C-alpha cells in the first residue's frame, strides 16, 4: 500500500458547538485512551501512512497532543493539526516548531453573527476577520505550513470569503459542502443544507484566478469514503452512504485488517486531491 494520509480524531471534546459537525463521536464508549495506547495506534498507522493529521473535537483539549505530535515526527511522519484556533498560543507554536509541519484552521465565516448561528463560538475567542488574521500572522511567524478549511452551508453561502483568503494566503484552502451524517447531525442539517448548484456557485464566486492554485473544493460525493480516519476509541471509520461505519480498534487489529471492514476508496482519495506535496523542509 502506498503511504497516504490519515486523520486521527483524538477527542470528541470541543469548546465550540458547530451544529453540523460530523465528529461528535457520541457512539464512542471509551474515549480516554492512555498515552501508550494512542502511541500504539500511531505506530501501527505509520507503517501505512506518511502524514498524520490530528483533529477532534478540538485536539488541543487532549492532554497528550504535544507528546503525540512529537512521537509521530520521530516515526518520520508529516504532522498536521486541524484546530478552531481558539487555544493556539505563542507558547504552543514555539514548543512545536521542530515537530509540527502544518497548522490548519477551520474558518467558515468572518461574521460573528453567522458564526454564532453555526455554533462556532466560545468565550475565549472572537471568530472574526481581525482575530483570524492576528492568529494567522503568529502561525506564519514560526514558519509552519498553513492551511484553511471552510465548510459551505446556508449560514455562509452568501459570503465572499475569497478576499479574506487572498489576504491570509494559506498554501491550501479546502472548501467542503456541508455533509449530512445519519444519527450525528441530521436533526440540525436542514438549517444548513446547500444544494450542489449552490455549492458550485459559491466556488465560482470565491475562487478567483489568484486562488485557483491553492483552492480544493469537495462536494458530498468526493467526501464520501475518501478519507482514512480514526475515532477517539482507536477505530477506523468511513461515511459510506451517509452513515458512519467502524472497524475493530487498532489496539487489537492491524490497519489492513481494519480497512477490510470498511468501504474507503483510494481512488476517491486521489480524486479529491488527497495526495500533494505535504513534506516540510526544516
| pLDDT tens digit sequence for 39-80 | 999 999 999 999 999 999 999 999 999 999 999 999 999 999
Q: Is residue 277 part of a domain?
A: no
140 lies in some domain: yes
Per the CB < 8 A criterion, the answer to whether 142 and 94 are in contact is yes
Q: What is d(CA 249, CA 235) in angstroms, rounded to the nearest whole number?
A: 4
Q: How far apart are CA 230 and CA 67, in angstroms?
A: 18
Return the DSSP state at 57: S
**What's the pLDDT score for residue 31?**
73
Domains: count for the chain: 1
Q: For the CA atoms of the chain, what is the radius of gyration?
A: 18
**pLDDT given at position 280:** 74
Q: What are phi and psi of 218, to 5 degrees?
A: -130, 115
Q: Is residue 168 part of a domain?
A: yes
Question: What pLDDT shows up at residue 124?
Answer: 82
Alpha helix segments (H runs only) across 4-101 = 35-46, 65-74, 90-95
What is the pLDDT at residue 43?
A: 98
62 in any annotated domain:
no
Under 8 Å between Cβ of 26 and 73:
no
Evaluate the omega torsion of the peptide bond into residue 265 and state whether it is cis, within 30 degrees of 0. Answer: no
Give me the half-sphere count of Cα atoms (radius 13 Å) on the Cβ side of residue 18: 28
Residue with cell 461528535: 24
The reported pTM is 0.95
Residue span of the structural domain in which 202 resides: 4-57+75-85+95-271
CA separation for the pair 124, 119 (Å, rounded):
14
Residue 282 lies in a domain: no
Question: Would you state the pLDDT for residue 1?
Answer: 60
Report the run of H or E that residue 246 belongs to, with start and end: strand 245-249
Residue 225 is part of a domain; what is its CATH number? Answer: 3.20.20.70
Which three cell numbers mark 222? 468526493
* Residues ≥6 apart with Cβ < 8 Å to 199: 152, 177, 217, 219
Which segments in the chain show pLDDT lower than 50? none
145 domain residue, yes or no = yes
193 burial level (CB within 10 Å; 0-12, 13-18, 19+): middle
Q: List Cα–Cα distances, 1 to 47, 50, 227, 232, 266, in angstroms.
A: 9, 11, 15, 24, 10
Predicted local distance difference test score (pLDDT) of residue 108? 97
64 lies in a domain?
no
- Residue 97 to residue 278: CA distance in whole angstroms: 16
Kindly state whether residue 70 falls inside one of the protein's structural domains. no
User: From CA 195, how far away is CA 179, in angstroms rounded?
Assistant: 11
Amino acid at each position: 500500500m502506498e503511504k497516504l494520509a490519515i486523520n486521527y480524531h483524538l477527542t470528541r471534546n470541543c469548546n465550540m458547538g458547530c451544529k453540523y459537525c460530523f465528529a461528535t463521536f457520541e457512539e464512542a464508549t471509551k474515549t480516554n485512551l492512555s498515552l501508550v495506547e494512542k502511541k500504539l495506534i500511531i505506530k501501527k498507522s505509520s507503517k501505512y501512512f506518511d502524514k498524520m493529521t490530528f483533529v477532534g473535537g478540538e485536539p488541543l483539549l487532549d492532554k497528550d497532543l504535544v507528546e503525540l505530535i512529537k512521537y509521530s515526527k520521530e516515526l518520520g511522519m508529516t504532522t498536521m493539526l486541524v484546530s478552531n484556533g481558539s487555544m493556539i498560543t505563542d507558547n504552543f507554536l514555539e514548543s512545536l516548531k521542530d515537530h509540527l509541519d502544518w497548522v490548519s484552521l477551520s474558518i467558515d465565516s468572518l461574521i460573528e453573527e453567522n458564526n454564532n448561528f453555526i455554533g462556532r463560538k466560545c468565550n475565549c475567542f472572537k471568530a472574526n476577520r481581525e482575530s483570524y488574521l492576528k492568529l494567522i500572522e503568529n502561525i506564519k511567524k514560526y514558519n509552519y505550513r498553513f492551511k484553511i478549511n471552510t465548510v459551505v452551508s446556508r449560514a455562509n453561502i452568501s459570503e465572499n470569503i475569497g478576499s479574506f483568503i487572498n489576504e491570509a494566503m494559506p498554501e491550501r484552502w479546502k472548501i467542503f459542502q456541508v455533509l449530512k451524517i445519519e444519527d450525528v447531525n441530521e436533526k440540525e442539517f436542514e438549517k444548513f443544507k446547500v444544494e450542489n448548484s449552490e455549492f458550485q456557485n459559491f466556488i465560482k464566486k470565491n475562487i478567483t484566478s489568484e486562488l485557483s492554485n491553492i483552492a480544493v473544493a469537495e462536494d458530498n460525493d468526493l467526501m464520501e469514503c475518501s478519507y482514512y480516519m480514526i475515532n477517539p476509541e482507536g477505530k477506523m471509520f468511513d461515511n459510506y452512504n451517509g452513515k458512519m461505519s467502524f472497524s475493530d480498534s487498532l489496539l487489537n487489529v492491524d490497519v489492513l485488517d481494519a480497512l477490510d471492514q470498511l468501504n474507503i476508496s483510494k481512488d476517491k482519495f486521489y480524486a479529491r486531491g488527497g495526495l500533494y506535496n505535504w513534506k516540510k523542509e526544516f
